Amino acid sequence: MVQKHMLYANVLPLVFAIVLLAVYSFDKVVYLIAFLAPLSIPLREYLPGIGFDMYIPTEPLLFGLLILFVLKIIQQREFDRKILFHPISLAVYLNLFWILITSVTSSMPIVSFKFLLMRIWFVVGLYLLTAKLFSKGKNMEKYVWLYVVPLMLVIAYSTYRHLGYGLWNKQAAHFVVSPFYRDHTSYGAATAFYLPFLVMFTLNNYFTKKMRFLAALALAVVFLGFVLSYSRAAWLSIALAFGVWCIIKLGIRFRTLFFTMVSVIGLFVMFQSQILMKLEQNSEESSANMMTHISSMANISSDASNLERINRWSCALRMFAEKPVFGYGPGTYMFKYAPYQLSKDRTIISTNSADGGNAHSEYFGPMAESGVMGIVTYLLIIAMVIYTAVNSYTRLNDYRLKSIVLAALIGLITYYIHGLMNNFLDTDKISVPFWGFTAMVVAIDIISRQSAKETTSKPG
């Protein structure tokens, strides 16, 4: 007890200093959150058995930032209108509004309103305020490095632990990142997010030789973490994101891309029975062998991880069919999915308890929890970000900003793809790059429009 009181006494001056910092300089707190995100630890690590959980110290900082932001807006009655009313911002508000509506109709209102509050503090701190930091085209590289440096420390820590079990021990990958990351998949998603930026920093002649050398070192470390995460979803996301990068660099027209996608979907529908039969013949299990581990992605006959995902997705679809308009309420999937499991779908890792996780998808989860508008509003955000980023990239003449918006888009696409198989937007680890990179797209789009406007208005 005495030790706890001493701990609180030591922490109070730090809390007071951070509050003062937030009052006089929002940007420093945003930077601090970005830096601490890879190092934050769940509250349950400190207080086992507690009835709720949050990442310490980032989420309390975000909550405090939200309160101060609201107070400042009430006092000053102004914020950058170009950010506030940007089309991406409007899509984000629509998503938040629908989360509010479905929190009111939720089967577990307390859980849903907690989810809503958490999403709001992520949006305010990591999107609105961060976009303001980027509004003059500055601070973007700094934001990336503030996450990458501590991420490298986590990679060094987890790799050192991994060595104790054998570096190519796949099972060890599940827990060596603890307590910093929830599991190896969120760790893999984080590393995938930053690889496009580190590649850009390394190869871009705009930057100094010193920075390019440091970026190359960081790229090697983060790529090591990426490989040792053994996250098949992260590996797949990078491969597909690279394909998107090629499409953008080659300047392939949207119409061509659209008809190609429609053709691929059409072929899948026509030959789905044959494709599923072929997939069911795949008996490769997830393994320490790299090629075997990759090929096991398509194993839907015996791989427990893949089968459990299908089980969770099937539950989400049944829940959606039951409540297609409002869903069961944001954040409630993990508490409500158990009755929707069919005995034939259950696996050796299936569970009925709330600690069993969620829908393992950023797409199926909103469907079950917030109905049809839940998934539509989330897809609208993604569509607006991709459309805005591609248009900004095409419009820009500034080589640095052109490189940054492309790296931010490719980083986001890794998670849009990864989100098909996992969902981590309720954590600071993934929300920092997800909303931060979205803020970069918004800020660069505003700059590119202003630049284009000035160029047009100049006399010929």
pLDDT tens, position by position, 407-453: 999 999 999 999 888 889 999 999 999 999 999 999 999 999 887 77
CA distance 441 to 368: 29
- Tell me the pLDDT of the chain averaged across its residues: 83
Q: What is the pLDDT of residues 312-354, one digit of tens each?
A: 888 999 999 999 999 999 999 988 888 888 887 777 767 776 5
Q: How many residues would you count in the chain?
A: 460
- In this structure, the dihedral spanned by the alpha carbons of residues 47, 48, 49 and 51, taken in order and rounded to 10 degrees, is 50
372 falls in which pLDDT band (50, 70, 90)? very high
Q: How far is 179 from 42, CA to CA, in rounded Å?
A: 7
Helical (H) or strand (E) element with 42 = strand 41-42
In a domain, 58, yes or no: no
CA dihedral 136, 408, 153, 286 (to 10 degrees): 170
Average pLDDT on 385-395 reads: 92
With b for 16 or more beta-carbon neighbours within 10 A and e for fewer, the 101-124 pattern comes to bbbebbebeebbbbbbebbbbbbb
Condensed to tens digits (0 to 9), the pLDDT of residues 243-287 reads 888 888 887 776 666 666 667 656 655 654 554 455 545 555 554
For residue 6, pLDDT beyond 80:
no
pTM: 0.88
Cβ atoms 389, 349 nearer than 8 A: no
Distance CA 385, CA 443 (A): 12
- Cβ contact 229:221 at 8 Å: no
Neighbours of 351 (CB within 10 A): 15
In a domain, 47, yes or no: no
Is the bond preceding 324 in cis, omega lying within 30 degrees of 0?
Answer: no
30-44, 63-77, 322-336, 373-387: least confidently modelled range: 63-77
Q: For residues 274 and 280, give the distance between their C-alpha atoms in angstroms, rounded to a whole number.
A: 10
Full DSSP string of 216-279 = HHHHHHHHHHHHHTT-HHHHHHHHHHHHHHHHHHHT--HHHHHHHHHHHHHHHHHTHHHHHHHH
Q: Is the peptide bond before 179 cis (omega within 30 degrees of 0)?
A: yes
- Domain, as residue range, for 400: 84-255+360-457
Residue 412 located in a structural domain: yes
Going by pLDDT thresholds of 50, 70 and 90, the confidence category of residue 293 is very low
Per-residue pLDDT reduced to its tens digit, 80-139 = 899 999 999 999 999 999 999 999 999 999 999 999 999 999 999 999 999 999 998 899
Tell me what percent of the residues of the chain surpass a pLDDT of 70: 79
Whether the pLDDT of residue 5 is over 80: the answer is no
CA distances from 228 to 79, 169, 184, 187 (A): 43, 9, 9, 10
- pLDDT above 50: residue 2: no
Which residue blocks in 128-229 are alpha helix, DSSP H?
Answer: 129-133, 140-165, 184-203, 209-228
Q: How many other C-beta atoms can be found within 10 angstroms of the C-beta atom of residue 179? A: 12
- Cα–Cα distance between 22 and 65 in angstroms, integer? 7
> 378: pLDDT confidence band, cut at 50, 70 and 90?
very high
Inside any domain, residue 392: yes
Q: Which residues on neighbouring strands pair with residue 42, listed in sequence order?
A: 55
Residue 397 lies in a domain: yes
Asked if the structure places residue 384 within a domain, the reply is yes
Please check whether residue 276 lies inside any domain of the structure.
no
Task: Please tell me the distance from the alpha carbon of residue 218 to that of residue 386, in angstroms, as a whole number.
Answer: 27
Distance CA 42, CA 45 (A): 6
Q: Which residue has the higher pLDDT, 166 or 121?
A: 121
Torsions phi, psi for 176 (to 5 deg) = -70, -20
Return the pLDDT at 295.
47
Query: If you ran DSSP here, which 8-state letter would residue 59 be given?
Result: H
Phi, psi of 413 (to 5 degrees): -65, -35
Structural domain tally of the chain? 1
- Amino acid present at 269: V
Could you tell me which of 435, 255, 327 has the C-alpha nearest to residue 106? Answer: 327
Report yes or no on 328 lying in a domain: no
